[in-house]
Amino acid sequence: MQTLDPIESAPIVIEAVQSEPRALAALLDKLENRTAVIGIVGLGYVGLPLMLRYAYAGFHVIGFDIDDGKVDKINRGETYIEHISALSVGEIIGRGSEATTDFRRASEADALIICVPTPLNAYREPDLSFILNTVDALAPHLRPGQLVSLESTTYPGTTEEELLPRIRAQGLEVGSDVFLVFSPEREDPGNPKFKTRSIPKVVGGVTPHCQRAGIALYGAAIDRVVPVTSTRAAELTKLLENIYRAVNIGLVNEMKIIADRMGIDIHEVINAAATKPFGFTPYYPGPGLGGHCIPIDPFYLTWKARQYGLHTRFIELAGEINNDMPYWVVNKVASALNDRGRSIKHSRILVLGITYKKDVDDMRESPSVRLMELMRDRGAILSYSDPHVPVFPKMRDHHFEMESTPLTREVLEATDLVLLATNHSDVDYDFVQKHASIIVDTRGVYLTPHPNVIKS
């Protein structure tokens, strides 16, 4: 059998290029020339930074959201996310970008990037309602020549099983008329080391033409694009990243419980182990998992794995350990008070730091909120202090009518116990230790032993 050498096979490559859909060629040209209009759907902790990034890259950007308040603030040049400055928002509005609640304007965009929440329902199963409602709102306004990218974290198969048929139902052929990709978000709110531009972007397309469009879209604004062979591979990539963290945090949380029982400071142990220059990555324990990804993503994969007859024992065990940490912390609080002749009921407890991680205003899935609910249920008189959350925000599943309490000497001395739940940098912890009666430290802030500090 005769085989073709590279020279003889060259015409086949040329033919493949010539067969490129006109819609793709036009889209690629717009992206290269910065004449494409970029639509960002969902203007939260992922969508708003992405809107800024594309505007700074020279594109006209339309931000879509169902929240009138967010849209109005953006169009006035204001911000609602602490680590994003109003100056930055005002600058892109001055350049012509805008926000809207009118999803009919989706037809104006050449690329639509969907960044909406993917929570769990009451049975800890995937809730795709935000994705599906968003796609249903966009679908009637899709047109040939557009690219649709889903960034919301979800289980493998979502893009092809849920988005693809909805687009096809509009009479559009994916891969020739419109282009569909999945590219998982990788934002780390408040982390000054990594910005939207510098975090590599994984992209998987439904077809090779979709893949080309996705690479061009993200390559126009992000320093490095990492192609994978399918949307399912891209979806699983995101889950692996966060499950890796969840499992390691579960391990170190269990190690914390063991070390506590043995009278050993787990933070001292971790810091010592971290001096090993190979084979060890430090993870640190806490009062539970927080943020929109790590407490939720493992359950997206375990749910999907059951459809394949698989039981993800390792992942679920880590989830159980992490979910139980707030109960363990509250028991430490009860024990600390009991040693001083008090119970949680009627004790004045101040929760220090209520965001899910340090130095941000992000309350999504914060373990501090679960701690507050558990102590409230046991009769505690609660207050909180957090320089990043002046007023307790409205949340879907949690409700507290509170404002942040200043950390004065009088407040601390009148409090029976301070529960250090989030270790913000701009707190004077020496002052807190000097004037608080008891501190339960869940973050390893106090490395030096103090009589009134209890590690948890």
Looking at residue 293, what is its pLDDT? 82
**Terminal-residue alpha carbon distance, the chain:** 72
- For residues 312 and 240, is the Cβ–Cβ distance under 8 A? no
Looking at residue 9, what is its pLDDT? 30
- Average pLDDT for residues 269-275, to the nearest whole number? 97
Which of the residue ranges 147-151, 355-359, 389-393, 398-402 would you say has the lowest mean pLDDT? Answer: 398-402
Looking at residue 2, what is its pLDDT? 33
Looking at residue 36, what is its pLDDT? 98
Please provide the average confidence, as pLDDT, over all residues in the chain.
93
Q: Is the pLDDT of residue 365 over 50?
A: yes
Number of neighbouring beta carbons within 10 Å of residue 88: 16
Q: Is the pLDDT of residue 18 over 60?
A: no
Looking at residue 361, what is its pLDDT? 94
% of the chain residues with pLDDT over 70 = 96
Mapped onto helix, strand or coil, the DSSP state of residue 293 is coil
Instruction: Clarify whether 293 is annotated catalytic.
Output: yes
Q: Is the pLDDT of residue 247 over 50?
A: yes
SS (H, E, C) the chain: CCCCCHHHHHHHHHHHHHCCCHHHHHHHHHHHHCCCEEEEECCCCCHHHHHHHHHHCCCEEEEECCCHHHHHHHHCCCCCCCCCCHHHHHHHHHCCCEEECCHHHHHHCCEEEECCCCCECCCCCECCHHHHHHHHHHHHHCCCCCEEEECCCCCCCHHHHHHHHHHHCCCCCECCCEEEEECCCCCCCCCCCCCCCCCCEEEEECCHHHHHHHHHHHHCCCCCEEEECCHHHHHHHHHHHHHHHHHHHHHHHHHHHHHHHHCCCHHHHHHHHCCCCCCCCCCCCCCCCCCCCCCCHHHHHHHHHHCCCCCCHHHHHHHHHHHHHHHHHHHHHHHHHHCCCCCCCCCEEEEECCCCCCCCCCCCCCHHHHHHHHHHHCCCEEEEECCCCCECCCCCCCCCCCECCCCCHHHHHCCCEEEECCCCCCCCHHHHHHHCCCEEECCCCCCCCCCCEEEC
- The CA distance from 393 to 379, in Å, is 22
Which of the residue ranges 1-10, 26-35, 71-80, 174-183 would you say has the lowest mean pLDDT? Answer: 1-10
- Average pLDDT for residues 233-237, to the nearest whole number? 98
Nearest 10 degrees: Cα torsion 438, 441, 445, 450:
40
Q: Is the pLDDT of residue 347 over 80?
A: yes
Q: Is the pLDDT of residue 16 over 90?
A: no
- The domains located in the chain, with CATH, are 12-238 (3.40.50.720), 264-455 (3.40.50.720)
Looking at residue 443, what is its pLDDT? 96
Written as one letter, the residue type at 184 is P
The model's pTM is 0.90
Looking at residue 295, what is its pLDDT? 86
Written as one letter, the residue type at 45 is Y
Higher pLDDT, 387 or 122: 387
Q: Is the pLDDT of residue 453 over 60?
A: yes
- Burial classification of residue 169, based on how many CB atoms lie within 10 Å of its CB (0-12 exposed, 13-18 middle, 19 or more buried): exposed
- The CA distance from 455 to 423, in Å, is 13
pLDDT in tens, 186-210: 988 878 888 999 999 999 999 999 9
Q: Is the pLDDT of residue 451 over 50?
A: yes
Q: Is the pLDDT of residue 184 over 60?
A: yes
- The CA distance from 366 to 421, in Å, is 10
Which of the residue ranges 91-95, 163-167, 398-402 would you say has the lowest mean pLDDT? Answer: 398-402
Confidence of residue 56 (pLDDT cuts 50, 70, 90): very high
**Active-site hit among 55, 61, 293, 360:** 293
Element holding 454 (H helix, E strand): strand 453-455
Looking at residue 15, what is its pLDDT? 36
Looking at residue 188, what is its pLDDT? 85
pLDDT in tens, 280-334: 999 999 999 888 788 888 999 999 999 999 999 999 999 999 999 999 999 999 9
Confidence of residue 399 (pLDDT cuts 50, 70, 90): confident
